A and B are shown apart, each in its own frame.
Chain A
Amino acid sequence: MDLVVLRALVVCLSFTLSTSLANAATPNPLEFSGFARVIMGYLDDENAEYVGYDNSLSIDQQSLLGLQADYRLSEEIAFTGQVVGYTDDQRSSGLEWLYLTYTPNSALQVKLGRQRIPFFNHSDSLDVGFAYPWLTLPQQVYDTAFFSTFDGVLANYQFTLNDWQINYEGYWGRFDDEIHLDSQDLDTQVIGLFGVNASVSYRNFNLRASYGQGDIDIEQDEATQFAQLLRQFGFTNNADWLNANGLLQFYQLSANYEDLDYFLRSEVTKMTGAGGLFADIDSFYISAGYNFYPYTVYISYGRKDLHFEHLANEIPFGVSPELDLLAATYLGILDLFPDDESKGTKIGIRWDWQYNVALKAEMTFVEANDAISNDYAVRDLGGFDGHAVLYQFGLEWVF
């Protein structure tokens, strides 16, 4: 499959490049553009996987091709569609965007339709590797947002106050699709999804804060059935804990600085879920870089701390074999949801070879504690000692 996808990518790329060069001269109401990544990676540990990479050289984890069409109906109204083809079979290729933009003036923009969720700084441009310095976004923060698109409305309002640029954004909508965790695909619905974010920029400084929430409903038949059984026996607290549904909340704060020579980027995020099966996740990264055009070198440190409010077993042992089985099953389920901590330190270089093509090389030192849930970037294939290095090399292209 890898070769077929790769060949399709190359054919598409050469086609889009030739057409976009031909179309560059005059502005047109219909415009095509796109982005592509070809990323090669290798993990030096045979007992683990990180961001899908294992102990063999692979190109089919993060490589992708995105195509965007913008049709401008008038000064105020435009339509945008974006399709993305992923080589990673954990992500479903297809329509990422289809929305209408209404721009009554230069300050206000309203988008209606399917679009990306702007939870964190790079949530809405995850796939556009050309837009950020790292090769792989700090996973300690970025693999904690399980879904990236929503159907709804988003409004953005920007204004200036003296020399400060201030930007407010709010969105409201729903998500209804599968999310991928480990080997499971879970049917998930999030209703009443809404969020606000504000960013202020002054000279080369930028601060952003955001809050998002939604009512999540994950289809987990086994857990639901077992919870019903517990409830029949009167163990309602344990039954209630076996629930991933309820209010989901996202918080984010970031501070960035950049000038001709240096950049500093940092982001702190927090996610909490009401149900017992939904972990609270605290994560952050900080990154510093030095530019010597056309090169950028950077160093980055990220950390994720995921913890469950594990509820102690209330089922007595030694009363009857049935209750023993029930208690053992409950404890077995608790074990399936371990607290999970991981760190990622990376160094890398970006070379802007052309104005729209960048080459990147990056090394990520992965550290994980004993318990690994296997639901996130780090996976223990058995006997993983918690230390691994990911080597990556990639090409980023926008056209």
Chain B
Amino acid sequence: MVVANTGDQSIQLNRQQVRSLFMGGVIPYQLKAVALPPENHTRVLFNTKIIGLTESRIQSYWAQMRFTGRKRAPREFDNETSMLQFLLRNVGATGYLPAGMDVPEQLTVIYTIP
């Protein structure tokens, strides 16, 4: 599931918007994506189900974006716990968490992978 620190609990994204958000595209809301490291299992699931690209392709995409000066890859956190702490402290921060995890009530689930 994708969770965001947003005051507006009504925000719901579709899969395409989530993909854009995490690939540096624009979406109609002021959200900023953060990510987990490449070897993380939640990230692997997220890549497969939402981004639809292999990790190596995602890495080469960000290399192209960085060295053409276009976009920067989302900031990465070591694990789900440290990501959660960051999400709680930063308005607009958006990340993905494994389905079973308890979501604090300050955060909004804006997309759930079916």
Contacts and interface: CB of A to CB of B under 8 A. Distances in A.
Contacts of B69: 80, 97, 99, 101, 111, 115
Given A291-B54, A355-B55, A33 B66 contact: yes
Interface stretch (A11-19, A123-131, A231-239, A268-276): A123-131
A80 B65 CA distance: 13
Contacts of A33: 66-67
Interface stretch (A153-161, A328-336, A339-347, A379-387): A153-161
Interface string A103-137: 00011010100011010000011011011110000
Nearest to B48: A260
A27 interface: yes
Contacts of B60: 130-133, 358
B89 interface: no
Most B-side CB within 10 Å, residue of A109, A350, A355: A355
Contacts, number: 97
A46 B48 CA distance: 47
Contacts of A80: 69
Interface in B71-100: 75
B52 A124 contact: no
Contact of B55 (A131, A259, A293): A293
Interface residues of A, number: 48
Interface of A: 27, 33, 35, 66, 68, 80, 82, 97, 99, 101, 106-107, 109, 111, 115-116, 118, 124-125, 127-128, 130-133, 156, 158-160, 163, 165, 201, 203-204, 258-260, 263, 291, 293-294, 296, 350, 352, 355-356, 358, 398
Closest 6 CB pairs of A and B: A352-B56, A131-B64, A163-B16, A124-B68, A293-B54, A128-B67
24 contacts: A35-B63, A68-B66, A68-B67, A80-B69, A97-B69, A101-B69, A111-B69, A118-B68, A124-B68, A125-B67, A130-B59, A131-B67, A156-B70, A159-B26, A160-B28, A260-B48, A260-B52, A260-B53, A291-B57, A293-B55, A294-B54, A350-B56, A358-B56, A398-B66
Interface of B: 14, 16-17, 19-20, 25-28, 30, 38, 48, 52-57, 59-61, 63-64, 66-70, 75
